[in-house]
Amino acid sequence: MTNAPAVSCLGTSALLFEAPGETTLANQQRIWALSREAANWPEIREAVPGVNNLLLSFNTPPRCLEPLETRLLGAWEEAIALPLDGRVIELPVVYGGEGGPHMADVVAHTGLSVEEIVAIHTAPIYPVYALGSHPGYCYLGGMDPRIATPRRKIPVIRIPGGAVSIGGSQTGVSASDGPSGWNTIGTTEVCFFDATRDPPVLLQPGDSITFRVVEIRK
């Protein structure tokens, strides 16, 4: 991990800004501040926060990149953590059973019991760091490293929307049916995305999720 921020291009479509340091809520709050600032620049079509990084897509690619890079690095230096006090959404989860087919793999990897895994998973308030992957999907911070479990060697072709899963040191909830390489440990019912709403997403950076156990199935 380097100490200086890095700027690189994704073809002529976008710039990628990567912040130095660990992924922390404080760092992520600076990313949100930078995103708000850059979203107003005339050449920027969209500012998209990622995990400790920011994608800036172009309306039209600038003739010369250097001035924009300089402005971006300057704005990062001045960016002050933006503590967005968003909503906290509680999601009721049925852990294990049919809706949590990979709970046994998390048990095997961590050496913890199902009850311990559920207790650890339901303890934190998980901040939404960024959205991505698929419509309405939230990248969450804050998972307890004791339940970290590597991604599956062979991804599952289709896991249902509402699947609660662990991939490496992250946890998340699928917003719609689709493929996933993560370990699904439970299921919840929530609508993260509705194109007819404005905004179309239930949660945005700055909001948070908590998980409440409804039932543990074997």
Partner 1 sequence: MIEILSQSASASIQDLGRFSAVRWGVGTAGAMDRLALLCGNILLGNADDAAGIEAQVFPFEVRFDTDLAFALTGADCAATLDGLPLLPWSSSRAQAGQVLRLGLPQAGRWRGARTYLAVAGGIDVPVVLGSRSTQLRGAIGGLDGRVLRQGDRLPVGPLPGTGIIAGVMPPGLALPLAADELPAVRVLPAAEHDAFTGGSLARFWAEPWKITPQSDRYGFRLAGPGLEPKAPLEVRSHGIVPGVIQVPHSGQPIVQMCDAQPSGGYPKVGTVIDADLWRLGQMPIGTRFRFIRVDWNKALAAREEVEGWLTEVRRVTALLRARRAA
Question: Is 50 among the residues that bind partner 1 (CB under 8 A)?
Answer: yes
Please choose, from the candidates 174, 210, 204, 170, the residue with its C-alpha nearest in 3D space to the C-alpha of residue 49.
204
Q: Name the segment binding partner 1 (CB under 8 A); options: 52-60, 87-95, 106-114, 209-217.
A: 52-60
For residue 140, the one-letter residue type is L
188 within 8 A of 149, measured Cβ to Cβ = no
- The size of the interface with partner 1 (CB under 8 A), counted in residues, is 42
- Nearest approach in angstroms of CB 136 to partner 1 is 6
| DSSP bridge partners of 89 | 209
Cis peptide leading into residue 150 (ω within 30°)? no
Query: Is residue 107 a contact residue for partner 1 (CB under 8 A)?
Result: no
38 binds partner 1 (CB under 8 A): no
Site for partner 1 in 131-150 (CB under 8 A): 131-137, 139
Q: Counting contacts by CB under 8 A, is residue 57 touching partner 1?
A: yes
**Interaction of residue 27 with partner 1, rule CB under 8 A:** no
Residues 6+ apart with CB under 8 A from 212: 90, 91, 92, 93, 122
Does residue 49 have a cis peptide bond before it, meaning omega lies within 30 degrees of 0?
Answer: no
Q: Which residues bind partner 1 (CB under 8 A)?
A: 6, 8-14, 16, 18, 23, 45-53, 55, 57, 61, 63, 65, 130-137, 139, 175-176, 178, 193, 195, 199-201
